[in-house]
Structure 1
Amino acid sequence: MSEQNTYRQVALVTGANKGIGRAAAEQLADLGMTVVIGARDPRRGEEAAAALREAGGDVHAVTLDVTEEDVVRAAAAWIEERFGHLDVLINNAGITGSGQVSPADATDQIPSGVDLDMVRSVFETNVFGVIAVTNAVLPLLRRSRAPRIVNVSSHAGSLTLNSDLDGPFAALLPSAAYSPSKSALTALTVQYAKELRKDGILVNAAAPGYVDTDSNNHTGFLTPAQGAAVLVRLATLGADGPTAGFFGEGGSIVW
C-alpha cells in the first residue's frame, strides 16, 4: 500500500478532556483525523478518548500538563513513537486564575489588588505552556504535509475591545491576569507565524466566544461545539489560508 493511501492526519488538542477542547477533538475525529487528547488527569483523558472512540473516532489520550516540561516532552515523544508526525496542534489548555468565576466577574483580578502568584500561574499555563508544547512538537509538525497551529485566545484579549470605553466590554471588570495572558498569546501567535511561515506552518489565534464551560460556571450562551467550530476551521485551512491572524466564528477580530 502506498504512503499516499496510508497517510493519516494526526491532531493534538491540549486540555481536551472536556469543554471546547473535547468538542474540537470530536469534530476533528469526525473529519477522519486521528486525534490525541492531552489532559492533565490521565483518567479523565482516557474516559474522554474512550467515549469518542465509542462514537467511531480514532481518538487516543496522553497525559499532558503544559506547565511541566518533562511531561510535555514525554507526550511529544509518545506521539512521535506512535504516529511519527503531527499535522494539527490546538493549544486549548488554559485557566482563568479565578476558578469557576467568569473572567468578567473576577474581582480578584482587578490590577490594584491582584495576587502576583495568581498572575504568574495564569501566564504559566496560558502563555508559557503554549511555548513549551509548541516547541516540543515542532519537529513532528515539520513532517506534516499541511501543518497547522491554533492558539485558543479570547475576545477578552483584544486591546481594541478592552480600550473602547463605550464598547461591549466597557462594563467588564479590569483584569491583570486572564485578559493580559490572552493578549500575550495573540502577540505570541504572530511571532510564531512570522518564524514558521517559510516552513508552510500556518499559525492563528482563535476566540471561541462566550461558551458554556466549567471556567465560567456554565454562564456562557454558546455550546462547546459552537465554540470549537472556529478552532477546527483554522486547523483545516488550505495552503492559501491566512496566518498570523486572530479570528472568531464571524471572521477577523480586532487586536
Structure 2
Amino acid sequence: MGVRLQGFNVFITGGSCGMGYEMAKELLSRGATVVISARGVEKLNKAYEKLKSEGYDVYSIPLDVTNEESVNNAVTWYKEHFDHLDMLVNNAGIGNNAPGMISIKDNKHFYDIPVSTFKSIVETNFNGIFLVSRAFVPIMIEKGKGRIVNVSTSASTMTRKGMIPYGPSKAAMEAMSTILSEELKEFEITVNIICPGGPTDTDMTTEEMKTFFNENDIPILKSNILNKTILFLASPNADGLTGEKIIGKEFNEWLKNRNISFEC
C-alpha cells in the first residue's frame, strides 16, 4: 500500500514553490496534514488555494524565517490549531536570486557583493534555521518525539568559486544540524539533511543560470527531486535515523548501500 501518513503533522518553510511545494504535495497525497509557510504572501496564497482545491488537508501562514517576531507568531498560531508536530522541514533559502546578487555579473568577486545582500542570505540560510528550529522544537519535546529535516546543497557548492555567501551559509547550517542531531537525541528528535544533488528547477535558479547549464550540457533536476526522500524520512522506515545527509539524486543508491527496502 505504500506510506500512509494520516495524523502526521508537518510544517514546511519555503513551501509556496519549488522543492518545498513539491514535498508538501507529496506528503499531503499520503494523508499528512501540512502547513506551508513563506515570506511572499501572494505566492503563498496561490499555493494554498491550489492544494486546497485538490482536497488536501493543507494550511498556510506567512513567515519570515529571519524575523524572530514572525517566527514566534507562527508558533503561537500553530499551537492554537494543533497539539503536536511530527516533522519540521526547514526548506526556505535564497542564493543567487537574492536582491543584489542578480545584478552582479557571473565573474563577480566576493568584494562585489553588497553587505546587505550577504547578510540577507546568511540570515535566511543559517540564522533562519536556528530561529525556526529553536521555536518549534519545544512542541516536539513536549510530545517526546519529532523529526527535523534541513534542506542543503552539494558539498562542492559550499566551496566553489563564486558561491559566497550561499555555499558557506549552507556549510554552517550543516555543521549546526550535526550538533542538533546529537543534542536532541535524548528527546527522541531526529535531525537529518537533504539536498537535490545538482542544479534544480526552482526560483533560486535564475534564467542566466539555466542558460549556462543548458549550453554546457549540465542537467537541471526537477523540483520534485526530494519527494521520495522526504517521504522516506516521514515514514516508520526512518525511525531513529539521525545525523544523515541524503542526496535526492542518489537516494536509491543510498537505500541500496544500507540494505533498506522502501516501498513508497
Smaller-chain TM-score range?
0.7 to 0.9
Q: Give the superposition deviation at 1:111.
A: 3.1
Does residue 1:175 correspond to 2:163, yes or no? Answer: yes
Q: 1 CA distance for matches of 2:98 and 2:113?
A: 15
Distance 2:237 2:157 in 1: 26
Is 1:212 paired with 2:201? yes
Number of equivalent positions: 232
Cα pair distance change 1:221/1:43, threshold 3 Å: same
TM-score (norm 2): 0.79
Deviation of 1:145 (Å): 6.6
In structure 2, how many angstroms separate the alpha carbons of the residues matched to 1:241 and 1:183? 24
What's the secondary structure of 2:181's corresponding residue? helix
SS at match of 1:225: coil
1:128 aligns with 2:127: yes
Q: Percent identity?
A: 32
List runs of 5+ in structure 1 lacking aligned partners: 1-6, 163-171
The one-letter code of the counterpart of 1:197 is: K
Q: Give, in whole Å, the separation in 2 of the partners of 1:50 and 1:144.
A: 31
- Assess, with a 3 A threshold, how the Cα gap between structure 1 residues 29 and 98 changes in structure 2: closer, same or farther: closer
Q: Which residue does the alignment assign to 1:200?
A: 188
Cα pair 1:106 1:173 within 8 Å, conserved:
no
What CA distance in whole angstroms lies between the structure 1 residues aligned with 2:66 and 2:204?
18
1:78-125: CA deviation from partner (whole Å, max 9, x where unpaired)? 1111012111100000000544979xx8544x3354433322111100
Of the structure 1 ranges 193-202 and 139-148, higher mean CA displacement relative to structure 2 is found in 139-148
- CA gap of 1:147–1:112, structure 2 versus 1, over 3 A, is same
Q: Quick check: 1:77 aligned with 2:76?
A: yes
- Structure 2 unaligned runs (5+)? 1-5, 211-218, 255-264
Q: Is it true that 1:92 corresponds to 2:91 in the alignment?
A: yes
Per the normalisation by structure 1, the TM-score is 0.82
Amino acid at match of 2:82: F
Kindly provide the amino acid, as one letter, of the partner of residue 185 in structure 1.
M
What are the within-5 Å matches in structure 2 for residues 32-111 of structure 1? 32-99=31-98, 106-108=106-108, 110-111=109-110
8 Å CA contact retained: 2:98, 2:121: no
Q: Residue 224 of structure 1: SS of its match in structure 2?
A: coil
More displaced, 42-51 or 89-98? 42-51
Q: C-alpha deviations, 1:2-61, integer Å up to 9, x for none? A: xxxxx8111011011111100010011011110000011233212211211222210111
- Deviations 1:138-197, CA, capped at 9 Å, x for gaps: 1222245751100000005666xx4xxxxxxxxx53322000011111111101101101
1:246 aligns with 2:245: yes
Q: Please, which moves more after superposition, 115-124 or 75-84?
A: 115-124
Contact 1:94–1:125 under 8 Å retained in 2: yes
Instruction: Single out whichever of 239-248 and 192-201 deviates more from structure 2.
Output: 239-248
Distance in 1 between residues matched to 2:8 and 2:156, nearest whole Å:
31
Counterpart secondary structure, 2:122: helix
Higher deviation after alignment, 132-141 or 227-236: 227-236
Shift in alpha-carbon separation, 1:144–1:229, aligned structure 2, 3 A: farther
